[in-house]
Structure 1
Amino acid sequence: MARLIFITGGVVSSLGKGLASAALGALLQARGYKVRLRKLDPYLNVDPGTMSPHQHGEVYVTDDGAETDLDLGHYERFTGVASSKADNITSGRIYQQVIEKERRGEYLGRTVQVIPHVTDMIKEFALAGSDDVDFLLCEIGGTVGDIEGLPFFEAIRQLGNDLGRDHHAFIHLTLVPYLGAAGELKTKPTQHSVKELRAIGIQPDILLCRSEKPIPEEERKKIGLFCNVPKERVIPALDLKTIYEAPKAYHDVGFDVELLKVFGITDAPSPDLTKWDWVVDRVKNPEGEVRIAVVGKYMQVKDSYKSLSEALVHGGLANNVKVRIEMIDSVIFERDDAATFLEGVNGILVPGGFGERGVEGKIAAVKFAREHKVPFFGICYGLHMAVIETARNLCNLEDANTTENGTPKHPVIALMTEWIKGNKVETRTETTDLGGTMRLGAYPAVLSKGSKVEEVYGSNTISERHRHRYEVNTNYVDQLAAKGLVVSGWSPDGKLPEIMEIPAHPWFIGVQFHPELKSKPFAPHPLFKSFIAAAVKQGRLV
């Protein structure tokens, strides 16, 4: 049976529980253990699929089509273990399942309560699929004291008793702030956070203390004394130059060693951190730099394009260059000339998105990339913008647009109402719930022989993750091809364009899927690797 590790947070949000969980998973993996990570989110949404990127950040999509929390992206990038819909659950989904069981009469007329029915459902989810791994890491979203999180904390408290001392560990991540005016680190917030946790019935085994300044031994001893934790298990978590330093940094301060001691393990193999050393060396010692303009619409929240930003970094690692990402709100181009902002960049990327705002600005960015021979990468909505730009400016279809934004005369992008997934026909309509109208998860594609993308992938069959409602309208592909924008990747049945490119352009590729979701620091995605290579070449030409 797997040993379970529960990671909770206190004081404030955004301390990095997801990264800490991912880094710990990578450390255990580096010692030869098999790990799995999952996220328990207390909010009442059934999933993050309909939540605004401005509030929640990106939605991460798994191969099996689950729309999940962005922390699952961290888990996959650090461990390489593919997540699934079994690895992220919310209060909304828990309550939905409990109510459905009650409606079916499965509780036999008993009063349905948070304890035991909701907590039992959480425990069932936490334990699912744990038999085939050595360690299962469960991150609890939010912070201790949040009212919506209480059922989750109660559930893991119960699990601690159910599993026994040698099969569970509690890690609590807190903040040790530095007050510049006083010139001191303050331990009181951590003390109060642990007091709140202990009031629920959970005694942390390890404290992970986030701080911008080194935490002296005396302060660690003080924290341990007040929080009933040995000083050696008060682990400093300091700011790093790159998140990919985290596995090595945590190992250097004994995080993984102390965790294994909690489980009574003292003879574990030493971790092999060779690949992490390589990644960190590449980040810190690049041979050059490229400027990539990301022209999107969710620029207020840094995490809105988290996987995309990391995939660009991975492309830089593959080419041994630093990627300087310039996030540009596409709305700017609707009032100012695109050249003002894009002159001198080495590559232009237009990412996914939904809705009409900023569309004309994205189209302007595509036009600039096409006319000035700047490497262009369009992802999902970015592909749609490339199709619209070509249709309007080269095919003279002035009213060309997507039906997402109305009823244009030339709907070059339209809602596909039927497609095949595996051996099942999926359907959707304009009136289907927003959470159910998208083509979600991994789908295969067949690449055209001799195409740029076949060269990039080194294969003519691929599988990539999708999250979108609208597709390229095949009624227009011949007109587009006549002007240079050709379909170079199709769904296996030949009905859905998956990739389009301009062969006469140095690097102009648009894809219907989200390749950033499969990129890893030690295994950069082929498209990002090739895009950054083209940007490096562009940099030598300008």
Structure 2
Amino acid sequence: MARYIFITGGVVSSLGKGLASAALGALLQARGYTVRLRKLDPYLNVDPGTMSPFEHGEVFVTDDGAETDLDLGHYERFTGVSARRTDSVSSGRIYSNVLEKERRGAYLGKTIQVIPHVTNEIKDFLAVGDDEVDFMLCEIGGTVGDIEGLPFFEAIRQFAQDRPRGQCIFMHLTLLPYMAASGELKTKPTQHSVKELRSIGIAPDVLVCRSEQPIPEKERAKIALFCNVRPDAVIPAYDLKTIYEAPLAYHKAGLDQAVLDAFGISPAPRPDMTRWEDVMDRLQNAEGEVRIAVVGKYTQLEDAYKSVAEALTHGGMANRIRVKAEWIDSEKLEGPEGPHLLDGYGGILVPGGFGERGTEGMISAAKYAREKKVPYLGICLGMQMAVIEAARNMAGIPDAGSEEFDHEAGQKRFTPVVYLLKEWIQGNYKVQRKLSDDKGGTMRLGAYTASLKPDTLISQVYGGALEIEDRHRHRYEVDATYKDQLEKAGLTFSGMSPDGRLPEIVEIDGHPWFIGVQFHPELKSKPFSPAPLFADFVRAAKEAERLV
């Protein structure tokens, strides 16, 4: 039976609960324990799949096809443990499950209430797979006191009561604001946050206090006294230069020891921090720098491309190169002078997205990269725009476009070389879709296999492999009926679905490095195991920069 660590937050949002959870998971792994991390979000959306990237940041996709919170990306990047559908849940999903059961008569006519029916549903979610790992880390989204979060707080209180004593602990993150006028750190917000938590029956065992200034010992002692925790369980959390410093920083601050002490685990196994020391060595001792232009639709919010940004960092680490990613709004490339914004970059990356806005700028970026021989990596929509560019300017289809854009405009304007996939095989099942379907959860989601063409760049990138598996999240596909016409023009379809129906990877013949992929390689990249595509793209970009 797993031991449970519930991570909550107070005072303000965005304190870094996800990062603290991920770092703690990595530290427990360093001591030889197995871990799994989960996120419980109080919003009423069933999942983040239909939420705007400006609203919520990126949607992280698991191998089994769940659209989840971006914090699950942190969990995977720090622990290497592949997230599953059962590692993310929202209030919307919980209430949807309860109402479906009620409609089926599963509650035998009882009056359905938040307590016990909603809280029981949350507890059932928490218990899934608890015999598989040593520690289950569960992060509760939002802050204590939020109305929408109350069922989750009540559920974890009940869950801890139901389990044997010593099986669950609570870790609470708070903010210690610094008052410049008086030169003081103020502990009162933390005291009130803990008071709010205790008022609903939860007493924190470990306090993690975010601060921009060093926390004096007397302030830590004051927090411990007023919040009823041990002084060595008050853990300072300072701003870091890179998130990958977090495991070492939290270990130095004593977080993992405080957690093991709260469980009464003594003596605790000694940690092996070699992995994270190597990660920091590669970051701090880079032997050069390369500039990468990321041409996207949602560049105003970097969290919209969180995994892409981190995968570029990982690619740099693989080459001991510092990657300077610069974000360019694709709409700015749509004028005649727009492509000149790409001058001077070692590589161009066009990530995923939805809708027509900004796509002509992405097509311009693909054209610039092809003509100027600049390394290009197109991901999902970035691959589709590269295919459209090749169709227009290499294969003689001047009105090439996407069925997605025609559907959005309500009229036919293009010859669609990208179309709505209406049927595909997922596992042992045939999946069918149409334009009128709900938006949520109706894409090709999760891990799919791609068969690689021998002696191609993509096969070299993956060490000569002829088959790879990666995660997808898209509704539209490149139309394979144009394959022969495009290949004659110089666009190689170097990866296809195993049945040969769906293009997965394209390359430009004679180009030093030009790859478009329908999947999202960034989702599986880790600092200690960079995605091969990103590692080789960064290498090629640095090489191209040297030749300029």
Common topology (TM > 0.5): yes
The answer on whether the counterparts of 2:521 and 2:531 sit within 8 Å (CA) in structure 1 is yes
Q: 1:476 aligns with which of 455, 473, 482?
A: 482
Q: 2:444 aligns with which of 411, 434, 439?
A: 439
Secondary structure of the residue aligned to 1:44 is coil
Alignment-derived partner of residue 300 in structure 1: 300
User: CA–CA distance in 1 between the matches of 2:117 and 2:428?
Assistant: 36
| CA-to-aligned-CA distance 1:486-538 (integer Å, 9 cap, x gap) | 10001000000000001310100000000000101000010001100101101
Alignment-derived partner of residue 416 in structure 2: 411
The residue type paired with residue 539 of structure 1 is E
Alignment-derived partner of residue 347 in structure 2: 347
The answer on whether the counterparts of 2:292 and 2:345 sit within 8 Å (CA) in structure 1 is yes
Q: Does 1:16 align with 2:16?
A: yes
The residue type paired with residue 418 of structure 1 is E
| Displacement after TM superposition at 1:386 (Å) | 0.2
Alignment-derived partner of residue 457 in structure 1: 462
1:47-446 → structure 2 map (5 Å cutoff): 47-335=47-335, 337-406=337-406, 407-446=412-451
User: CA–CA distance in 1 between the matches of 2:180 and 2:542?
Assistant: 42
The residue type paired with residue 42 of structure 1 is P
| Displacement after TM superposition at 1:246 (Å) | 0.8
Stretch deviating more after TM superposition (67-76 or 178-187): 178-187
Task: Give aligned-pair identity as a percent.
Answer: 67
The answer on whether the counterparts of 1:402 and 1:408 sit within 8 Å (CA) in structure 2 is no
The residue type paired with residue 284 of structure 1 is Q
Label 1:81 to 1:300 Cα distance change in 2 as closer, same or farther (>3 A).
same
| Displacement after TM superposition at 1:188 (Å) | 1.4
User: CA–CA distance in 2 between the matches of 1:102 and 1:339?
Assistant: 57
TM-score by length of 2: 0.98
Label 1:336 to 1:126 Cα distance change in 2 as closer, same or farther (>3 A).
farther
The answer on whether the counterparts of 1:429 and 1:437 sit within 8 Å (CA) in structure 2 is no
The residue type paired with residue 421 of structure 1 is Q
Equivalent pairs counted in the alignment come to: 542
The answer on whether the counterparts of 2:403 and 2:414 sit within 8 Å (CA) in structure 1 is no
Q: 2:525 aligns with which of 519, 527, 532?
A: 519
Q: 2:506 aligns with which of 500, 504, 507?
A: 500
The answer on whether the counterparts of 1:400 and 1:408 sit within 8 Å (CA) in structure 2 is no
The answer on whether the counterparts of 1:363 and 1:388 sit within 8 Å (CA) in structure 2 is yes
Secondary structure of the residue aligned to 1:89 is strand
User: CA–CA distance in 2 between the matches of 1:408 and 1:341?
Assistant: 28
| Displacement after TM superposition at 1:179 (Å) | 2.2
The answer on whether the counterparts of 1:42 and 1:152 sit within 8 Å (CA) in structure 2 is yes
The residue type paired with residue 296 of structure 1 is G
Q: 2:516 aligns with which of 510, 522, 540?
A: 510
| CA-to-aligned-CA distance 1:117-175 (integer Å, 9 cap, x gap) | 00010011011101111000000001111100000000001111111331011000011
Secondary structure of the residue aligned to 2:166 is helix
| Displacement after TM superposition at 1:336 (Å) | 5.8
| CA-to-aligned-CA distance 1:353-384 (integer Å, 9 cap, x gap) | 00011011111111111111100000000001
The answer on whether the counterparts of 2:67 and 2:441 sit within 8 Å (CA) in structure 1 is no
User: CA–CA distance in 1 between the matches of 2:254 and 2:111?
Assistant: 47
Secondary structure of the residue aligned to 1:156 is helix
User: Considering only aligned residues, what root-mean-square deviation do their CA atoms show, in Å?
Assistant: 0.9
TM-score by length of 1: 0.99
The answer on whether the counterparts of 1:338 and 1:368 sit within 8 Å (CA) in structure 2 is no
Secondary structure of the residue aligned to 1:166 is coil
User: CA–CA distance in 1 between the matches of 2:421 and 2:93?
Assistant: 28
User: CA–CA distance in 1 between the matches of 2:40 and 2:260?
Assistant: 23
Label 1:251 to 1:439 Cα distance change in 2 as closer, same or farther (>3 A).
same
Label 1:13 to 1:336 Cα distance change in 2 as closer, same or farther (>3 A).
farther
User: CA–CA distance in 1 between the matches of 2:108 and 2:516?
Assistant: 54
The residue type paired with residue 426 of structure 2 is K
Secondary structure of the residue aligned to 1:110 is coil
Q: 2:541 aligns with which of 526, 532, 535?
A: 535
Provide structure 2 residue ranges, at least 5 long, that are not aligned to the other structure. Answer: 407-411
Secondary structure of the residue aligned to 2:20 is helix
The answer on whether the counterparts of 1:288 and 1:321 sit within 8 Å (CA) in structure 2 is yes
| CA-to-aligned-CA distance 1:434-459 (integer Å, 9 cap, x gap) | 11431000000100011110010020
User: CA–CA distance in 2 between the matches of 1:484 and 1:419?
Assistant: 28
| Displacement after TM superposition at 1:469 (Å) | 0.4
The residue type paired with residue 445 of structure 1 is A
| Displacement after TM superposition at 1:409 (Å) | 3.9
